[in-house]
Amino acid sequence: MPTDWESCYRAGDTPWDKGAAAPPLLEWLETPAHRFHGEVLVPGCGLGHDVRALAATGQAESVCGLDVSPAALAQVRRFPAAGNESYVEADLFALPEEWRGRFDWVFEHTCFCAIDPARRADYVRAVAEALRPGGRLLAIFYLRPWSGGEARPPGGGPPFGVEVSELDALFAGAFELVEESVPTRAFAGREGRELVRLLRKTA
C-alpha cells in the first residue's frame, strides 16, 4: 500500500526528517567547482531543508521545492526564507505541462528511496522530462537503509535501498554519469550507506 505522506506529516510521524539539510549536499557544495545555475527543482522536498541550503548559496536563479503533502508545505512557513526559494504542491509523476524542459538542475534526496521501486523507471522519465537538454541531476542515493546491509528486505521500506547496478541500468538511457563519490559526512546511521552521483541528461 502506498505511503500516505499527508497523514504522516499531520501526525508528525516523519523519521526521515532530520531537521537540517543533508550532510552530503553540504559537503558537495563546499567544493568550489560544484556550482548550480539557472532553475533548480527539488522533488519530495518535505520541510525544505535542502531547498533552503541550495537557495542560500545564491548560485541559482530559483530553487523550487515540490511535495505532494500540503501539511509538509504548510510547515515550511515556520522557517525563514534563505534566498530565492519557492514551494509547490504537485506530484512528480504528473508535472504541470509548463514544467517540461524547464529546469537546469534537479536535486534528489529521499524522494527516489521513498517511492515504490516498481515506479523507478517512471521517476527517471519524470526527472528527464523536467530537465532542459543537458540539464543535471545531483542525487544522494540511499544504497543500504537497513542495519543488515541489504537494499530490500522482504516487505521493508520505505526507505527502499538500491543497488549500484540498478542505478546504472535505470539511468543509462537518458543520462550519463559525470561524477560520483561516497560522502564522508552523513546523518547518524547513514554512514557509508549513501552514494552521491552527478548525472547529465543526454536524451
pLDDT in tens, 171-196: 998 999 999 999 999 998 888 999 99
Domains in the chain, ordered, with CATH?
5-9+18-201 (3.40.50.150)
Longest pairwise C-alpha distance within the chain: 43
For residues 116-125, give the mean pLDDT.
95
Of residues 6, 69, 79, the one with CA closest to residue 48: 79
pLDDT band at 50 (very low <50, low <70, confident <90, very high): very high
Q: How does DSSP classify residue 61?
A: S
Question: Residue 139: helix, strand or coil by DSSP?
Answer: strand
Dump pLDDT digits (tens) for 56-82: 999 999 999 999 999 999 999 899 999
CB 162 within 8 Å of CB 113: yes
Tens of pLDDT along 123-168? 999 999 999 999 999 999 999 876 555 555 555 678 888 999 999 9
Q: Could you give the CA distance from residue 200 to residue 154 in angstroms, rounded to a whole number?
A: 33
Is-above-0.85 flag for pTM?
yes
